[in-house]
Structures are given as C-alpha cells and as structure tokens.
Structure 1
Amino acid sequence: MKKFLALMEKTFAFLSMAGIGLMLIIIFLQVVSRYFFHYTASYSEELSRYLFVWVTFLSLPVVSRQGGHMVVGLLTERFTGERLRRLKIAGCLCSIAFLAVMVWQGIRMVQLAVWQTSPAMEIPMSYMYISIPLGCGGMLLLALEELFDLVRRRETA
C-alpha cells in the first residue's frame, strides 16, 4: 500500500507540475496573441481555467502527504502523548467522512455532466469534474493510511 501511495503522489505531483507549465504556456500565448495580433483563441481561457481546477484537485493528495495542509496549532500544541494521538484520530475520522462525501458527490457530478459540453472547446464537462473524485479519492486513501498508522502506533506502544 505504501508503494502504491508513493507512486500516486509522484504521478499526481508530475501531472500538477505539467498542468501548471501548460497553463503558463497557454496564458503566455494568449497574452502575446492578443497584444501583437489582436486575436484571442476562444479555448485558451477555458482550457487554462479547467487546468487550474485539475491542478488544484491533483495537488490535494501531494500536499496532504507532505503535511502541508493547515493545522489548528492551538489544539495540537496543548496535547501530547495519548491525547494528541486521539485528537489526530478524531481529525482523521472527520477528514475521511468529508472526503468520502466529496468522492461520492464528485462521482454524481461526473455522471450528471456527461451530456453537458463546455462552451468554447465543446468537450464533455465530465472531463473537468472527474478531477474532484480523483483528487479527493487520493486524499481519502492518505487519510486512511494515516488513521491506520495512528491506530497501529497504539498497538505497538
């Protein structure tokens, strides 16, 4: 499981960086073509917006695995030992519940958007919405891993 999650993290990190690079190129070309040629491709703004959504959701598991999400330090600094472990378990359970709902509702959004097309590129909107269950699903797996590690830590202590 650890190898799979490490591979998922590397893949999502690569795709996020590639998405940011592609966004940068698209926006740069859009500005240059508008400024010098007084022409803007109709798809460029829409594509960069959809890439931004993909980068956002694919980055969630990467940042989560590296411990980069916000933490309420007021609580974590007050507790130590077993109390801190229990607080982290409660946080993991809340995250798992939230992420499970996000994956479930994300899948529903994908199913609803299959027949809806984007205005400029005329591609199914489900291509954009699939980033929600993918990113939240990856984060859900990482939250489950963290929960198992916290529970296992109690058994070995």
Structure 2
Amino acid sequence: MDKIYTTLNKVIEALLAVIFGLLVIDVVWQVVSRYVVGQSSSFTEEFARFSLIWLTVLGAAHINGSKDGHLSMDFLLTKLPEEKKIKRQKIIQIMMAVFALVIMVIGGGNLVYITLSLGQTSSALQVPLGFVYAIVPVSGLIIIFFSYYNIKKLNF
C-alpha cells in the first residue's frame, strides 16, 4: 500500500505542476493578447476557470494525502493526550472519507452524469462540461484512499 501511496502522490504532484504551468501560460497569453495584440483571446478566460477548478479540487486531495493536512483548527487536538489524539484523528479521517463519498463521489458523479447526458458543452472551448466536473468524483476517491491510508498509518 505504501508503493501505491507514493506513486499516487507523485502522479498528483506532476499533474498539479502541469496544470499550474498551463494556467500561468494561459493567463500570460491573455494579458499579452489583450494589451499587446489588442484583441483578447476567446478561450483564455474559460481555460483559466477550468484549470483553476482542477487545480483546487485535486490540490485538496493532494494535501489530504501528502501532508495529512486539511482545513482544521487543531488547537484542542494538540492539547489532548496521545491516545485520545490518535482516536480523534481517526474520527476526523472517517468523517472526511464519508464526506468525500457522499458529496464528492456520489454527488459529483451525478453531476458528471447529468451534464454528459444533457450534452452540455462550454461556450468557447466546446468541451463537454462533464469532463471538467469529472475531477470532483476522482478527487473524492483519492481522498477516500488517503483517509484509509492515514487511518492505517495511525494504527502502527
């Protein structure tokens, strides 16, 4: 399981770096085309929005896995004795996995299914919106895997 964990982390890190690089190139091109060329490109704003969605949602999954970090206030957690701290961290990981399953995997999967079945496409890039939203259930599955891994790590 450690090999899957490290491989998945490296793949996500590389994908995040590529998405971020494309986002920077896109925004630079948008500025250059608007102020130097005098005509704004039609696709740059939409591509920036879609890549920011992917960067944010996939980045949240990566932070949960690689740093065992998430949005939390851990002041009270750090004050607990070690055995209660481990129990509380397991509860937190279980709650994160349940959230990821219900909201991201099931809800996001329904969103992807509906947008693909309705044939919704983006206006400038003509990309099916289901492909853009597909990162939500994928990231949910990644969060569930990382939560399971973090719980197993707490047992040892």
TM-score after normalising by structure 2: 0.91
Partner of 2:114: 112
For 1:54-110, what per-residue CA distance to the aligned partner results, in whole angstroms no more than 9, with x for missing partners?
A: 111221232122234233222212212211111111111111110111111111111
Residue pair 2:68, 2:150 contacting (<8 A) in 1 also: no
Residue pair 1:110, 1:130 contacting (<8 A) in 2 also: yes
Partner of 2:49: 49
Q: Which amino acid aligns with 1:59?
A: G
Partners of 1:20 and 1:144 lie apart in 2 by: 28
Partner of 1:75: 76
- Give the RMSD, CA atoms, in angstroms: 1.3
Partner of 2:135: 131
Structure 1: stretches of 5+ with no match in the other structure? none
TM-score after normalising by structure 1: 0.90
What percent identity do the matched residue pairs reach?
A: 25
Partners of 1:77 and 1:5 lie apart in 2 by: 26
Residue pair 1:60, 1:136 contacting (<8 A) in 2 also: no
Pairwise CA distance, 1:149: 2.5
Structure 2: stretches of 5+ with no match in the other structure? none
Pairwise CA distance, 1:8: 1.1
